[in-house]
Structure 1
Amino acid sequence: MPPAKTDQLDLWAESGLDGDDQVMVDFLLPTGIYIQMEVPRESTIQHIKLLLWKEAQTYPLFSLLGEMEGHMFECVNQAAVHEELEDETRRLCDVRPFLPVLKLITRNCGRAERILDSKIGVLIGKGLHELDALQDQQVKDFRSKMKRISEEKMQRMQLMSWGEWLRSCYSTQLETESVENLIDKHEGVIKITMHYDQSQVCSVILYIRDCLLANESPHLTLVHCDVVKAIFEKEICTIGSVLARKASNPPLPLPPKKRTPTVRTLSVFPALQLIKGALSFVPLAVRAGLFHGTELLCKTAVSSESSSRSEHVWNKTLEFDIAVCDLPRMARLCFAIYAVMDKVKKQRSTKNTHLNKYQTIPWVNTMVFDYRGQLKTGDIILHCWSSFPDELEEMLNPIGTIQTNPYTENATELHISFPEYSTQPVVFPAFDKGRGGKKFYIELKEIMERDPLSQLCENEKDLIWTLRYDCRENFPQSLPKLLLSVKWSKHEDMAQLQALLQIWPKLSPRDALELLDFNYPDQYVREFAVNCLRDMSDDELLQYLLQLVQVLRYEPYYDCALSRFLLERAQSSRKIGHFLFWHLRSEMYMPAVSVHFALILEAYCRGCIPHIEVLKKQVEALSKLKAVNELIKLGTIKTKTKQAHLKEAMMTCLRQTGFIETLSNLHSPLNPNILLAGVHVERCKYMDSKMKPLWIVYHNKLLGGDTVGIIFKNGDDLRQDMLTLQILRLMDLLWKEANLDLRIVPYGCLATGDHSGLIEVVSSADTIANIQKTSSNMAAAAAFNKDALLNWLKDKNSGDALDKAIEEFTLSCAGYCVATYVLGIGDRHSDNIMVRSTGQLFHIDFGHILGNFKSKFGIKRERVPFILTHDFIHVIQQGKTGNTEKFGNFFRQYCEEAYLILRKNGNLFITLFALMLTAGLPELTSVKDIQYLKDSLALGKTDEEALKQFRQKFDEALRESWTTKVNWMAHIVAHPS
């Protein structure tokens, strides 16, 4: 690994394909001695240290080193920061230092804690020393509090019996009855016998393996359990314990005495420095606005103009027409810096009078109150963001993050100063409880039944607020509309709302989700919502976990009700913890959330130490797969290597010892209940698309010898696919709750990093394109062969099995017709619609949703509301042209029934998409995108009107199905292989 090698060449070297298994490393010793020696690149850090110690004995001053265990290595990692290699079980090829230089340093005290910190840092993708270096009291307080809670939890777990601990970790896999009977502890030996159910035994082994990584445990003996022993023989061992330690954290000082400040208006003094780019040479102004959610609390304030080459000082205090005592707790101050266009030469067109569409406008947001509830005072430096969303009113971005840009070197700095309002800190006051009168108006019902996207006029808001106790009595689920009717700039209204929340009936978890939207930032409202979510089962929480993680972006403070709720549930359920980890870990590369997500990940790891090794193995496995993918891409682009040679290179790579050990015996990130035993190298391949996804096949002894396939993608953003598949899974649940099973196949999909992730391979399935091509000698004619699909099903099934397969096809086709129409899923060609040999039809690849259909030369390529071709109908009618009853009376009825069920849950779908608005998905960036759902579900119309609209779309899909065939023909001709 010489320094002169490029990253691409290093990939070849790392894979071992250049035949170089040794690497020259420079070792720097604390005695001042420099040693250069070759070491195996597959060796662990511990083995390399042994080799160095043996070599160092021949050098001067060796006796001054002392004990080997008192030292560890330090390197500069790929992120160009110092990393201490506490975890010496890692291999050098996995550490991948920036340069082949390892520095030997003396260990400090508290080695066990340092090892734990090192493991957590590697696992979450952000070294804890980076968090240590942050000069942010909120970060320090949150970490201290979470560490104390986690250590107390680990201490409680130490006192649990084996069975109690087993149930707490694997509650979804084991029955709660007498788990201890599976385990016989006697004279320091644990025995597990095979006369119990194999899946239970395997779960016990999984559990014990995890425990051994965190606790002093006796040796493990497996009695008559060959299958389990074969899988775990390398994993089961006794490891030094990592005991929970009691932290000596001093109590926080008592907050200042709460007081209501005198009536003064809020003001702020801005100054700007370090202007970058063209903004340095034009007159600039600052616009500032106070927001509660997306509601502007008062008129925006604008500074005077300033023109300078380096620094801009406006010498003006920005006054906001709102009393300090009327500021809501979650008020945020939003800034935008812009060029004064009438002073600039009009050589470029403009979007409006303020914003030149070619000019980047820096923006930044900050909270008015800090995380302790104290009104901010004094000088603050804010580092601005440069990417500015389009179509924002007042040129401000209230929905944007309140975190400042961490890339300070190239960011515009905005210096602001909050005045001192009193000699004591101004603390947000507690609300008084009070009640108003009670009336009832029948017109309230019509307002409350509207969908979440409907706007309320001022008269309607006044009516709702006046009848707020009637809302509580008769329309408790209407709480979001009541919140939109509150005048957040009046502390009297806020006080009355707080009193009302104390007596508001608990909402169902599905209804409570809407309260976590950005429009409802009040902390008491969000605490109320989280309290309602506590009624969720683990399965229901997993259903909405994707949105709940994204909602963390809306939380201005790290220690909030939602963060605590997610941590509590994750630490009590291994499956929830698994997916919480990956949803957070996959977005650690985003600067706006990296600190917040890192803090939650650290807190989770400290509270679930046994889970660290399990997750660490998954992270390492994904790193290996990424290296293989980069190898394939490099061979394709640079060396033009033939496909057969690249596949052989891929297999050679997968057969290496380091790859085999890392990729074997790990829990699948897609489903932690599945153990991936070992790679079936001969069946692995890479797919011939732009990003060269890897098709990896695993043996799985726990599934009776069946194989498990996963696709690893590197270069594609899978988050939109994740969202679509989540909604399909929800639709399937809603239909089943209404006793309608439409055989949906919501396969697994998980984003694991920056444009990388995994997709589950659905077994025994093929694409419509392949089915059609194998039945025709001419590619152009394949799409028009209506018998191809039915004949394929006949080949796979016979007798009663064929009837069952046709029934499966009919139900699943109905489900996907409705689902793809409601979600506006586009780019539906014959390569992304598949059929299982059992008859289930399903769709894949969801790069275009919410009506964003593909077009060419300005002409829409897809002109049907959903895919319903004549060969589909041919299968539904069992190949009998006259069998119209099966199609008309059954298939069409399934579609209509499914559509009406989704309509009843229209508000839930809108809420789930609204909660994802700040995730950065390419086709979900504004409320306008969600409007498609409102139109497709015909919300605001009666069921009869909506059904009439759907029937028109159904007839249109039938009438225009020939255009789908033409598109499919063009696709098959363009992609013959």
Structure 2
Amino acid sequence: MVVPREATIQHIKLLLWKQAQSHPLFSSLGEMESHMFECVNQAAVHEELEDETRRLCDVRPFLPVLKLVTRSCGRAERLLDSKIGVLIGKGLHELDAINDQEVKDFRSKMFRLSEERMQQVQMMTCTEWLQACFSPQLEPLAGTAITDGLNDRPADLKVIIHFDQSQVRICSPVTRFPVLSRLQYIRTCMQAKESPHLTLVHTSTVKGMFDKEISAIRAYHTAKMMSLWSCKDVMKDFNPHTRTQVQVRAGLFHGTELLCKPAVSSESSGRSDHTWKDSTLEFDLSVCDLPRMTRLCFAIYAVMDKVKKQKSTKNHYPIAWVNTMVFDYKGQLKTGDIILHCWSSFPDELEEMLNPIGTIQTNPYTENATALHIHFPEYSSHSIVFPPFDKVRRLTGRGGKKFHIELKEIMERDPLSQLCENEKDLIWTLRYDCRENFPQSLPKLLLSVKWSKHEDMAQLQALLQIWPKLSPRDALELLDFNYPDQYVREYAVGCLRDMSDEELSQYLLQLVQVLRYEPYYDCALTHFLLERAQGNRKIGHFLFWHLRSEIHMPAVSVQFALMLEAYCRGNIPHIEVLKKQVEALSKLKSVNELIKLGTIKNARSKTKEAMLTKEAMMTCLRQSGYSETLSDLHSPLNPNVLLSGINVERCRYMDSKMKPLWIVYNNKLLGGDTLGIIFKNGDDLRQDMLTLQILRLMDLLWKEANLDLSDALDRAIEEFTLSCAGYCVATYVLGIGDRHSDNIMVRSTGQLFHIDFGHILGNFKSKFGIKRERVPFILTHDFIHVIQQGKTGYTEKFGSFRQYCEEAYLVLRKNGNLFITLFALMLTAGLPELTSVKDIQYLKDSLALGKTDEDALKQFRQKFDEALRESWTTKVNWMAHNVAKDNRS
């Protein structure tokens, strides 16, 4: 059949039925509604097209083939499943196919909670529904508000409400399991009289690693793994006949703390499969002393004879790593045979090749991953379950009551400062002094606990029950990887419940990232985020996009998909709104790819390229399929903004590598003003998101200290002066680089602001080995000319500017721990310039943490004078940038 690209699935079905009437056996086909189409989509995944309002051009089947099948019962449920699958970018049939009881139990629980949530929504009044779905704060009206005399409501405020009556009813049985008391648990472990141990059965699929030529390495190894093996010093004298063995190293960790000495297997020779017969790894730690959140970390590595002429004496070469929890999601000690599919991408600076901060999820690409087969022994005839700590009632002595000056000094250190063993012992001894005088020091107390002693664990849990509630900002640190204990994290989430919706939005980026640290799907943080998202649609909007933007990452794919499914089922009316945004971004991506293709074809003629490509772009945007999808949608950047229609004539693309789109919208809600959006496809913008978030936080902290550096002022020069002071301090503290003239903007109101944050934390650009940026922040004489209102001797204004900068710097120093915490929570996000604690050290140095305010201010003044003195180098750098840009164009 020949059908229009813009046709809906429903229209195609109508055409099919009309044509089928002339064929034999048409009468046996049955009703049209009892059938649906299936296809293979662009991701090579089988997809059921339940939602028949979608266009063929949006479905984009891999082949121009639609298969007609008989629709099974429960169409409403299937339609909802289909919509959710398309919306989150992962078909729910993929989750159905996962043979994991934890996944099944979590989904059943979320189904039940979602049904209860939708029933509550249907019982709401109009006012309650509006408050639950939309932020209660209204934008201030221009001029004097006209009210109708009833509760001072604007007379012209109109609300159109559409109620969706659909709901999902799924019942599931509650699984029950026995829980041993703490005493029974300890007795059971003691009766075993064994240390924790496991048996290595064999590793398989470590193939092609030692073939005669490096090119013979199997394609399943990742690019980073290849780079490890193509290292110059290693491969230069590599001999394929060199005797090679494979070993496994295993360690028990609580957070980043190694609980005991790692265990190492015997060596196994071979070229493909490796087997360790009767190889048992034992750990010097009693089973009863294992913390609840103990994770078992493995590293598989090759051991080769030392190669001649090799500079390094190291002869251990990593192959793969994988982690697993010792207790399952029900708290039951694992037993029996387990297959762990490993990861081959090794982070930098790993100690003994173990990666405790890495995911506990196994590699989903099982066919191409190294597989480690292990066996957990059984210590008793029945299951051993870690008991809840509410059964712990014993408490030993309270420790010393005397207040120590030394303790005060330790507690005032920043989060990056290391504690020595004597300091940890002091903190633990004076733990009740910490509670009474330094409640915000809880993170340091937790780092002082001996987690390999069940007595200390029990005392800590009892102390946690009476610990004062921390402020939400201080509690954020407790969600770091260093604090894996379940009850500590539940305590932290309890503190976060005091956050307003506005404050929660401020830290949502980090809260989504620390979900990676949660070993189990059903946890306090997951419930907290879903509850708050369901209570405020704006939070739900940003939670959805934070999760969906990373659903393609294997380590979090299942976890984030489960959360997205749970959110959608509990917010069914929001699905269509989000679906419109997803479709719009897909269209913009297609336009961007069209432009990239056009610029490649016409690369020889710049003028011809620009004309033809822009014409093709505008033609594409005018097509009905594009114009309808891209119109009347809530902005993904700000759900409060309704984008009405595209002003095609003013749209263009920008002349940079990724060819970002400049899309201009007409906006009726803004009094007819147009609204511009930049769409960039192909770059990871999460580092920009992090920097913008920190800049907003800095502005908030300055305003809390009555130092307003961005609010609208009467005169543009004052606005420029204040905003310039804010950005001088912010860019210095964050080490923001690549500050050329194209990345610094000025509004007509005089407000200065920066864009493009691809280089942070002191990662400044170099050219031919020469540092292009030699100043701590941008402070050119052009800026000073404006600040001094064009008068060369107007030192009073410049003095005020300098004073603003110093006050702003001191405010940030007081909140230094918060900034360090927020960056630390992003360490596993995979940002290019934030990969280890060493990167955060730049922030500690720029804020001069550990120094007095006087010494810190002295350091800042030196940097200020340096920026002023070296401003000529900035002009040279800008000139070079402009010349290079002119040559490109």
Give me the TM-score of the superposition, normalised by structure 2.
0.91
Aligned AA (2:167): L
1:736-747 equivalent positions in 2, closer than 5 A: 736-743=703-710
Q: Is the 8 A contact 1:256 1:425 kept in 2?
A: no
Question: Which residue matches 1:370?
Answer: 328
Question: Structure 1: how far apart are the matches of 2:210 and 2:178?
Answer: 43
Structure 2 CA distance for partners of 1:349 and 1:624, relative to 1, 3 Å? farther
Equivalent in 71, 75, 87 of residue 51 of structure 2: 87
Who is 1:811 aligned against? Answer: 722
Residue type of the alignment partner of 1:879 = G
Q: Which letter maps to 1:408?
A: T
Partner of 1:865: 776
Paired residue type of 2:844: K
Verify the 8 A CA contact 1:256 1:424 in the aligned structure 2: no
> Aligned with 2:588: secondary structure?
helix
Please name the residue that 1:852 is paired with. 763
Answer whether contact 1:827 1:854 (CA < 8 A) is retained: yes
Match of 1:616 among 556, 559, 579: 579
SS of the aligned residue for 1:873 comes to: helix
Deviations 1:150-199 (A, max 9, x none): 10110111111222212211233459xxxxxx9xxxxxxxxxx9x97488
Rounded Cα–Cα distance in structure 1 between residues aligned with 2:155 and 2:103:
46
Specify the alignment match of 1:243 in structure 2: 167
CA deviation after TM superposition for structure 1 residue 279, in Å: 5.0
Partner of 2:815: 905
Match of 1:731 among 698, 703, 708: 698
Sequence identity of aligned pairs in percent?
81
Letter in 1 for 2:868: L
SS state of the match for residue 104, structure 1? strand
> How far 1:716 sits from its partner (Å)?
1.0
Q: How far is the alpha carbon of 1:744 from its aligned partner? A: 7.4
Measure the CA separation in 2 of the matches of 1:362 and 1:591. 16
Aligned to 2:397: 436
Q: Which blocks of at least 5 consecutive residues in structure 2 are unaligned?
A: 140-145, 212-239
Q: Do structure 1's residue 939 and structure 2's residue 849 form an aligned pair?
A: yes
Spell out, residue by residue over 1:788-835, the C-alpha distance to the aligned partner (whole angstroms, 9 max, x if none): xxxxxxxxxxxxx9x700000000000000000000001111110110
**Counterpart code for 1:893:** Q
Tell me, yes or no, if structure 1 residue 950 matches structure 2 residue 863: no
Verify: 1:299 aligned to 2:261, yes or no: yes
CA contact (8 A) 1:732 1:744 kept: no
Aligned partners of 2:871 and 2:711: how far apart in 1? 23
How big is the shift at 1:252? 1.1
Correspondence list, 1:785-824, <5 A: 804-824=715-735
**Is the alpha carbon distance of 1:200 and 1:525 closer, same or farther for their aligned partners in structure 2, counting shifts above 3 Å?**
farther
d(CA) in 1 for partners of 2:343, 2:128:
49
Residue 742 of structure 2 aligns to a residue whose secondary structure is: coil
Could you report, residue by residue, the CA deviation over 1:595-634 in whole angstroms, capped at 9, with x for unpaired residues? 0000000000000000000000000000000000000001
- Cα pair 2:583 2:629 within 8 Å, conserved: yes
Aligned to 1:396: 354
Displacement of 1:436: 2.7
Letter in 1 for 2:767: K
Counterpart among 735, 749, 772 of residue 838 in structure 1: 749
Matches of 2:653 and 2:711 in 1, distance apart? 27
Look up the SS of the partner of 2:449 in the other structure: coil
Alpha carbons 1:685, 1:694 under 8 Å: kept: yes
Matched, 1:51 2:18: no
Contact 1:472 1:505 survives alignment (8 Å):
yes
Deviations 1:832-865 (A, max 9, x none): 0110011001111011100111112222111101
What is the CA distance between 1:354 and its match in structure 2?
4.8
Shift of 1:244: 3.9
- SS of the residue corresponding to residue 816 of structure 1 reads helix
Alignment of 1:41-80 (within 5 A): 41-80=5-44
Assess, with a 3 A threshold, how the Cα gap between structure 1 residues 421 and 279 changes in structure 2: closer, same or farther. Answer: farther
| Secondary structure of the structure 1 residue equivalent to 2:66 | strand
Whether the 8 Å contact between 1:332 and 1:367 is mirrored in structure 2 is yes
Could you tell me which residue of structure 1 aligns to residue 118 of structure 2?
Answer: 154
Q: Write the distance in 2 (CA, Å) between the matches of 1:598 and 1:551.
A: 16
Q: Which moved more, 1:265-274 or 1:85-94?
A: 265-274
2:262 is aligned with what amino acid? T
State the Cα RMSD in Å. Answer: 1.7
Q: Give the Cα separation in 2 of the matches to 1:589 and 1:419.
A: 36
CA change 1:731–1:854 in 2 (3 A) is: same
| Closer, same or farther: CA 319–379 of 1 in aligned 2, 3 Å | same
TM-score computed with the length of structure 1 as normaliser: 0.83
Shift of 1:688: 0.5
Partner residue of 2:199 out of 251, 263, 269: 269
Compute the displacement of 1:375 (Å).
Answer: 0.5
- Aligned partner of residue 415 in structure 1, secondary structure: strand
Match of 1:682 in 2: 649
Write the distance in 2 (CA, Å) between the matches of 1:324 and 1:410. Answer: 34
Residue segments in structure 1 that go unaligned for 5+ positions in a row: 1-36, 176-181, 183-192, 216-241, 746-800
The answer to whether the Cα contact below 8 Å between 2:725 and 2:801 also exists between their aligned partners in 1 is yes
Residue by residue over 1:212-255, the C-alpha shift from the partner in whole angstroms, topping out at 9 and shown as x without a partner, is xx22xxxxxxxxxxxxxxxxxxxxxxxxxx1342x221121233
SS at match of 2:252: strand
Letter in 1 for 2:249: R
CA contact (8 A) 1:451 1:907 kept: yes
User: Is the CA contact 1:816–1:842 (under 8 Å) kept in the aligned structure 2?
Assistant: yes
Q: Which of 862, 885, 889 is the matching residue for 1:975?
A: 885
Is 1:278–2:209 an aligned residue pair? yes
2:760 and 2:268 map into 1 onto residues whose CA distance is 45
Bigger shift: residues 845-854 or 639-648: 639-648
The answer for the alignment partner of 2:82 in structure 1 is 118
8 A Cα contact 2:135 2:538, kept in partner = no
Return the offset for 1:200: 3.6
Task: Provide, for residues 761-786 of structure 1, a one-character-per-residue CA deviation record: whole Å limited to 9, x for no partner.
Answer: xxxxxxxxxxxxxxxxxxxxxxxxxx
Partner residue of 1:172? 136
SS class of match (2:741) = coil
Q: Distance in 1 between matches of 2:854 and 2:315?
A: 47
Q: Is the 8 A contact 2:341 2:372 kept in 1?
A: yes
In 2: Cα distance, 1:160 partner to 1:907 partner: 42
Question: CA offset at residue 348 of structure 1?
Answer: 5.5
2:698 and 2:208 map into 1 onto residues whose CA distance is 49
C-alpha displacement at 1:466, in angstroms?
0.3
Q: Deviations over 1:481-510 (max 9, x none)?
A: 000000010000000000000000000000
1:369–1:375: 8 Å Cα contact kept in structure 2?
A: yes
Contact 1:744/1:815 (<8 A) preserved: no
How far apart, CA to CA, are the structure 2 residues paired with 1:128 and 1:322?
Answer: 42
Deviates more, 1:158-167 or 1:713-722: 158-167
Alpha-carbon distance in 1 for matches of 2:263, 2:365: 27
Separation (CA, whole Å) in 2 of partners of 1:390 and 1:303: 24
Distance of 1:257 and 1:917 partners within structure 2? 37
- 1:442 Cα deviation (Å)? 2.3
Amino acid at match of 2:627: I
2:27 partner SS: helix
Determine if the alignment matches structure 1 residue 537 to structure 2 residue 500: yes
Change (3 A) 1:279 1:584: farther
Residue number among 281, 296, 307 corresponding to 1:318 in the alignment:
281
CA distance in 2, matches of 1:866, 1:460: 38
Contact in 2 for aligned 1:487/1:493 (Cα 8 Å): yes
Q: Distance in 2 between matches of 1:686 and 1:455?
A: 49
Residue 174 and residue 937 in structure 1: after superposition, are their counterparts in 2 closer, same or farther (change >3 A)? closer
Q: Give matches, 1:566-965, under 5 Å.
A: 566-640=529-603, 642-743=609-710, 804-888=715-799, 890-965=800-875
